[in-house]
Amino acid sequence: MKFLILLPLYYTAACLTIPFVTALFIPHAKEISPPPQKNIENTITVFNHTDNTTYNINIEDYLIGVVAAEMPAAFEPEALKAQAVAARTYTMYKSASSDHDADICTDYTHCQAYLSEEEMHENWKNDYNFYFDKIKNAVYSTSGEYLSYNEEPIMAVFHSMGGGQTQNSADVWGTQMPYLVSVPSPGEEEATNYHSTLSVSFSEFKNTILKDYPNAKIASCLDVSKPTLTQSGHVKSILIGTVSIPGSKIRSMFNLRSTKFTLSFTDDTVTFSVTGYGHGVGMSQYGANAMAKTGKTYKEILSHYYQGVTFSE
Ligand SMILES: [Zn+2]
**Nearest 5°: CA angle at 278, between 148 and 190?**
100
Residue 107 C-alpha to ligand 1 middle, in angstroms? 6
Ligand 1 centroid–CA 88 distance in Å is: 14
Which amino acid appears at position 254 of this protein?
A: F
Q: How far is the CA of 2 from the centre of ligand 1 (A)?
A: 21
Q: Are 188 and 276 in contact (CB under 8 A)?
A: yes
- Adjacent-strand bridge partners of 47: 54, 105
Of 10, 154, 26, 24, the closest CA to residue 80 belongs to 26
CB contact at 8 A, 170 and 62: no
Q: How far is the CA of 113 from the centre of ligand 1 (A)?
A: 10
Q: Domain ranges in the chain?
A: 2-156, 195-275
Question: Using CA atoms, how far apart are residues 72 and 274, in angstroms rounded to an integer?
Answer: 22
Q: Is 154 exposed, middle or buried (0-12, 13-18, 19+ CB in 10 A)?
A: buried
Residue 62 is predicted with a pLDDT of: 95
Distance from residue 94's CA to the centre of ligand 1 (Å)? 8
Separation of alpha carbons 169 and 166, rounded Å: 9
Q: Which residues of 260-299 are buried (b: 16+ CB within 10 A; e: fewer)?
A: bbebeeeeeebbbebbbbbbbbbbbbbbbbbbbeeebebb
Centre of ligand 1 from the C-alpha of residue 111, in Å: 4
Rounded to whole angstroms, how far apart are CA atoms 93 and 88?
9
User: 202 CA distance to ligand 1 centroid (A)?
Assistant: 38
Task: Quote the ligand 1 centre to 50 CA distance (angstroms).
Answer: 12
* Model pTM score: 0.83
Q: Let me know: does 232 contact 280? Beta carbons within 8 Å.
A: yes
> Measured between alpha carbons, how far is 181 from 70 in angstroms, rounded to an integer?
22
State the Cα–Cα distance between residues 59 and 56, nearest whole angstrom.
Answer: 9
Per-residue pLDDT, 42 = 86
Distance CA 28, CA 39 (A): 31
* Rounded mean pLDDT for each run of 10 residues along the chain, 313 residues in total: 35 33 35 42 87 92 96 97 97 85 89 94 96 97 96 95 96 95 96 96 95 92 93 95 94 96 94 96 98 98 98 94
Contact call for residues 189 and 164 (beta carbons, < 8 A): yes
List helix spans (H) across the chain.
2-25, 59-70, 77-96, 117-124, 128-140, 169-173, 202-212, 247-254, 285-293, 298-305
Direct distance between the N- and C-terminal alpha carbons of the chain, in angstroms, rounded to an integer: 30
Between CA 44 and CA 59 the distance in angstroms is 6
Cα separation, 173 vs 158, in Å, equals 14
